[in-house]
Structure 1
Amino acid sequence: MIRKKGITFCILIISLAGIVACSNQLQDRGDHHNNEEEVIEKQYKEEEIMKEFEQISKEDLNLDSIVSFIDKNIGRVSYKNAGIMVTTLEEAQKVFLKNLEDRFYTPETQEGLDKLFQVEMKLDCLADAAKGDLKELLEESTAKGYKLAAAEGAIFPIIDYDFYTKYSSFVDEELKAYIEVMAVHSKKLSAVDAALVIGWEELVQRAIQQEKFIEKYPDSDKIEAVKELSNWYRYYIFNGLPNTPLFSHKDDEMNPEAKSVYASYIQRESEGKLIEEIKEFMCLLEKNGYKGSKEVENFIEDVLQNN
């Protein structure tokens, strides 16, 4: 009798297990089905978002609308589509910049900016001090992702790549790296009025950052923009500028700060084409008593041409 009850109990346990297993399978199928529906729904919504974005981006370069749309929707799309949004904004900014420059380069605007601008005053403070149409122009420029730069007695707009850093976490690593390279440059320009406005240390540091991007992403859509920037930095490294020469106009002596910085870099850095070129450059200069010469000029010309 006891044995019979035991068998019955075992059968009951097995039956319950089967019911639970079937229930779990149905639940799994249900969850899978729900997941599929969620994926399909997300894809549909993303397609709708991108269609709307495409339409907005074609409407007379309305940068305010483009920026507003990206801010609201970039977190709802894939890395790929987020990249399309950011790249579209950049291209629109480049086109609109020509229009904006025309509005800045009028005698009235430049005269108004010149009256406001004081020594040591930050350019981004001009909008606070301005009034009327000039204030509207400056505030519009900032809202559209531009910042002010000054050179040769004029104040003008440039693309503010620091504006793009808020999108960095939504795009892939390649575009994120590009934004970082461009933001470093636009945050503080390397040269103004034929003079370096950053130190030799930062000059080399930025150039290395640009070189790393070029080496890591040789097929990037942004490669030409970074190469163009890199070429300028390399020119400054090996030549300096008229108002910040690498070699003294008086006696051809190498700038002592640059000499110290370059020596420091070749001691602690071992990789990269730029570092190898600086090493060769410093070896040649050592033989020449760290002075400019025809041999040094030929070396610089070869380095810049073969880049």
Structure 2
Amino acid sequence: MKQTTFTKKIAASLGAILFLTSAGIAASGTFPNMAASAAAKSSSSFLLFEQRVKQPSSLSLAQGTLVNRIDEMTPGEANIAVLHLENALKAYLPTAAKRMNTSAIQKDIKSIYTKGMPMVLARSKVKQLQTSMVLQDLSAMDYKLEYGGGSFYPVIQYQSFKVFKPYLTKDLQAYFELMAAESEQPSAVDGTLLIDWYKVAERALEYEAFLQTYQTSNRAAAVKEAFGVAKKYVFYGSPKTPLFDTKTQVMSEKAAIAYENTLSEAGPEQIEASTLLTQLDDFLVLLEKNGDTKTQAVSDYLKSLEVPGIP
């Protein structure tokens, strides 16, 4: 079978499992030239960043400090700073969402919103001063405007973290690539899958590849959580895009084709290297024996995978 772009991505992800080791995580040796030059510089930039990142009121200043002065930090400081920035954005996210979630602000944004509108553009178009102020604050912190479930809400704009890539260890480069992909194209919103079944499998395999390659990464736990959600989508779908028809319990034909092609294109060696692909292969064999229907035997197999089902 001719390799597609999708196949090549899967091969690359799984190839990492076979040929990379967690030794690639170590900062020492990752940036030899940078380490030599940064060691002679003061860490005042890092200290300034740390001072600013601790307070929501100066979070946008902390970002500016990191963007403009990360090259003045040691490799270790740069990695810690980027992680602390993500931590701060995550910590403030519930407050950011609460600030935006008032009927007046929601109505104001809805009156001017078009799909994919950047938060900074929305801020310039809204009519109420309070809405403008909230959006100004959140856009300065580099949150992204999203819509789902009948309301607008902020999310972390992981795409902007790519500017830090040259200063990060390999595991963090890979981590922020994964987070940016999910941020730019969410797997699901309001219980509906927004990606096709090929991408559903691909996302899960990319998370698996990360976990097997970077087992001791600082962000392994976060990726493990994302992998759990992605694996649920693979074997169950989502509440509004279920893998099995809610009436007939027959598996989605599109999903069956996508999964069969994924396995065919991966091949025996890559299937053996991936627990997820092995499970998917066994799953499809079982389904074939059961008329592609979710029988008790299929349900029992899914339970054995310890993947949480659809609520």
Give the TM-score normalised by structure 2.
0.79
| Cα 1:79–1:298 shift into 2, 3 Å | same
CA distance in 1, matches of 2:56, 2:133: 20
Q: 2:186 aligns with which of 186, 189, 194?
A: 189
Please, which runs of 5 or more residues in structure 1 have no aligned partner? 1-38
**Which of structure 1's runs of 4+ aligned residues deviate more than 4 A?**
39-42
The equivalent residue for 1:272 is: 274
> What's the CA shift for 1:88?
1.0
* Identity across the alignment (%): 27
| Cα 1:44–1:183 shift into 2, 3 Å | same
> What's the CA shift for 1:209?
0.9
* 2:39 is aligned with 1:43: yes
SS of the residue aligned with 1:45?
coil
> What's the CA shift for 1:69?
0.4
> What's the CA shift for 1:140?
2.9
Higher RCO (C-alpha 8 Å, min separation 6): 2
* 2:284 is aligned with 1:282: yes
> What's the CA shift for 1:78?
2.9
CA distance in 1, matches of 2:280, 2:256: 10
* 2:228 is aligned with 1:234: no
| Cα 1:290–1:139 shift into 2, 3 Å | same
Describe the superposition over 1:119-166 as per-residue Cα deviations: whole angstroms up to 9, x where unpaired: xx2242534532433234224322312112222211111111112111
* 2:93 is aligned with 1:97: yes
> What's the CA shift for 1:252?
1.8
> What's the CA shift for 1:87?
0.7
SS of the residue aligned with 2:201?
helix
* 2:232 is aligned with 1:256: no
**Equivalent pair of 1:234/1:304 in contact (CA under 8 Å):** no
Q: Which amino acid aligns with 1:143?
A: A
Please, which runs of 5 or more residues in structure 2 have no aligned partner? 1-34
The equivalent residue for 2:295 is: 293
Give the TM-score normalised by structure 1.
0.80
Which one has the bigger helix percentage? 1
Q: Which amino acid aligns with 2:158?
A: Y
Q: 1:134 aligns with which of 114, 118, 131?
A: 131
| Cα 1:75–1:283 shift into 2, 3 Å | same
The equivalent residue for 1:144 is: 141
